[in-house]
Amino acid sequence: MRARGEATLLFIAVLAFGFVLLIPASFTGIVYAGGLDVSPSENGEGPNVVNSPVRVVGIKFAQVDGRAQVIIGTTAICNYKTALLKQPDRLVIDIDNATIAMTKRDPIIVDDGLVRRIRMAQFSANVARIVIDLSLSAGYVIRAREGTSNGLIVSFNREIQDVSFQDISGRSAVTITGTGDLTPRVMTLKSPDRIVIDIPEATLLHEPFTIPVDHALIKQVRVSQNTKDVVRIVVDTKGDLGFDIVKQEDKPGRIVIDFGYLVKGVDIATHESKTRVVIKTTGHPGRSIRYLDDLKLLVIDIENSQLETSGTTKVVKDGVINQVEITQFRPRIVRVAIHLPYYLGHSEVDTGRPDEIALDIVRSPLLEKVIVVDPGHGGSDPGAIGPSGLQEKFVTLDIALRLARLLELAGAKVLLTRADDRFVSLPDRVALVNRNNADLFVSVHVNSFTDLYPSGAETFYFDNVPESKRLADLVQDGLVRESEVNNRKAKNRELYVLREARVPACLVEVAFISNFEEEMLLMRPDFRQKAAQGIYWGILSFFSGKPVPVVQLNMVQPNNIGFEGLREYN
């Protein structure tokens, strides 16, 4: 038989039918790189099977993609036998009809963790022996060298050098350190709860071992050589446990099973002007905080975290918080949901502890306050009319509805003198205030003048109630700051609704509808929203006893935005 054009002797029984040669399937111990060239002999007789002598001309060690490799160079293809022996661990390769042709035959010292050294010797006249001394028994494959070079490549499994459990700054992880591009297979199993990580084509460079773990949700980590080619890491847990598998690009031999942080619970403390919520964690996890207006819910999602205990609910009902729920929202996200009767704002607080997430939720000074909001004019009384035909009664109703919604969100009880396009007399407006023992009265109007040029906002008060001036000043400041119109100041004026109301009261002239530019502003929903917010901040500052910082509010749509007078402008 010819292999690579050379006559080669086969020590096997074959059957020949003409030019067809049948070779038994058991013929697997002889390596023929490049395939078999089967042809008649030159003298026309059956095929000559010749076994050419082989010389071993070189041996070297290399690390390729995390695998220890022993490369054996020969002068021809070769027949070999292998044996993986114990005490001491070693791989023996006998090459038949071969001689060692190397002048230097000293052992090659490796000590890479798996391969200790490589020895070579002429075992007998026809057998060259290569012995690879190992630190422990390991899986391997042997293949022929590719290309034009003859010989063998012995390739061992990738190595698992270490497995450790770490808790760094409150974040727990199992780290697997090995060689090459490790590709884990992960299973989550029940009864008992455990996470199984199998590393294929890998050898553990240790005896099986167990890592005891002091963790609320992890019992221990077990490491073993599950089969000759699979290293198995088992994380015994105390229930379901979320995790991420992280392969570090700059360290291809490292895999991190990241369990993240623990969320241990929530503490709540009620103060005069706020309620503080402190979330206890084991580190400094990332989080997102948002308020869901339609649910009156402040939501804190804590990332890369696991709840230490089962979900809990704390009932508070202190006038700021109704209750707090803490749940494992997703495998890696703990959610703290704070149910509120209203929402005025919150701020994160640095407690000086990196393992705490603290929020102060503002107690509303408007809670349970009765506030009468009066949209000026209405019904048969259109109020002032702008150059383009915009009627005051529709503008004031829209702004008043927006203002009422903001006040309600802050916990106030709001009474409207009208909630649609109807006429209400001045005495009836004032009667609503006095009959309900209101805490405050605000009447919403827009200004007008025979001249088209006057512009800006002004707020009127009457000094029969001492606090009315302070209210008017604060409302005027908030209105100008939010709407950015000309400041015409707060002014004392005896108007019926201000004189007859027995509570702090003001009448707001938002802008001049007679001024074409300001009429255009009044047609815009965003401007009307800003006007409502400005009045709202003034009222809030009045009850808090000090100016309140401006924060961004979402657009609040009136409950009845579809009234005809503004439909064409919205």
Contact between 483 and 446 (Cβ < 8 Å): no
- Distance CA(182)–CA(145), nearest Å, equals 24
List the one residue out of 12, 49, 44 whose CA is nearest residue 28: 12
- Contact residues for 387 (Cβ-Cβ < 8 A; gap 6+): 452, 514, 516, 519
**Is residue 42 annotated as a catalytic residue, yes or no?**
no
Which is more confident, 415 or 150? 415
List the one residue out of 173, 200, 172 whose CA is nearest residue 186: 200
* Residue 453 pLDDT grade (very low, low, confident, very high; cuts 50, 70, 90): confident
The pLDDT of residue 287: 95
Amino acid at 296: K
- Distance CA(553)–CA(484), nearest Å, equals 16
Phi, psi of 407, deg, nearest 5: -65, -40
Q: Does residue 25 carry a pLDDT above 60?
A: no
Phi, psi of 544, deg, nearest 5: -80, -15
Here the tokens at position 38 are 């089967």
* Residue 240 pLDDT grade (very low, low, confident, very high; cuts 50, 70, 90): confident
Paired with 118 in beta bridges are 108, 132
- Distance CA(292)–CA(520), nearest Å, equals 32
Domain ranges in the chain with CATH number 2.60.40.3500? 158-261, 263-362
Crossing angle of helices 467-483/525-544, nearest 10°? Answer: 140
Q: Does residue 460 carry a pLDDT above 80?
A: yes
Here the tokens at position 520 are 């255009």
Here the tokens at position 230 are 């699979």
Here the tokens at position 39 are 């042809």
The pLDDT of residue 566: 60
* Residue 390 pLDDT grade (very low, low, confident, very high; cuts 50, 70, 90): very high
pLDDT digits (tens, 9 = 90+) for 97-130: 999 999 899 999 999 889 999 999 999 999 999 9
- Distance CA(323)–CA(319), nearest Å, equals 11
pLDDT digits (tens, 9 = 90+) for 242-288: 999 998 778 888 999 999 999 999 999 999 889 999 999 999 999 99
3-state SS class at 73: strand
- Distance CA(483)–CA(403), nearest Å, equals 14
Q: Active-site residue among 458, 509, 518, 519?
A: 509
Worst-scoring range by mean pLDDT, 223-237, 246-260, 385-399?
246-260
List the one residue out of 402, 386, 372 whose CA is nearest residue 506: 372
The pLDDT of residue 310: 83
Q: Does residue 16 carry a pLDDT above 50?
A: no
Burial of 525 (C-beta count, 10 Å sphere; 0-12/13-18/19+): middle
The pLDDT of residue 28: 38
3-state SS class at 499: helix
Q: Does residue 418 carry a pLDDT above 50?
A: yes
Angle at 559 between CA 556 and CA 563, to 5 degrees: 110
Instruction: Tell me which CATH code domain 263-362 carries.
Output: 2.60.40.3500
List the one residue out of 170, 147, 157 whose CA is nearest residue 198: 157
Q: Does residue 224 carry a pLDDT above 50?
A: yes
Q: Provide DSSP, 253-274.
A: TEEEEEEEEEEEEEEEEE-SSE
Crossing angle of helices 525-544/392-409, nearest 10°? Answer: 50
Q: Which CATH fold topology does 158-261 show?
A: Immunoglobulin-like (2.60.40)
Average pLDDT over residues 229-238: 96
Domain ranges in the chain with CATH number 3.40.630.40? 370-567
Instruction: Tell me which CATH code domain 370-567 carries.
Output: 3.40.630.40
Report strand pairing: 108-109 vs 80-85: unpaired
Q: Does residue 343 carry a pLDDT above 50?
A: yes
Average pLDDT over residues 229-240: 94
For all residues of the chain together, what is the average pLDDT? Answer: 87
Phi, psi of 488, deg, nearest 5: -100, 10
Helices vs. strands in the chain: H and E counts, helices first: 7, 38
Paired with 440 in beta bridges are 371
- Distance CA(215)–CA(308), nearest Å, equals 10
The DSSP letter of residue 145 is P
Contact between 366 and 539 (Cβ < 8 Å): yes
Which is more confident, 54 or 148? 54
- Distance CA(47)–CA(16), nearest Å, equals 9
Report strand pairing: 171-178 vs 254-270: antiparallel
Please tell me the chain's helix, strand, coil percentages from 3-state DSSP, rounded to the nearest 5: 15, 45, 40
The pLDDT of residue 309: 87
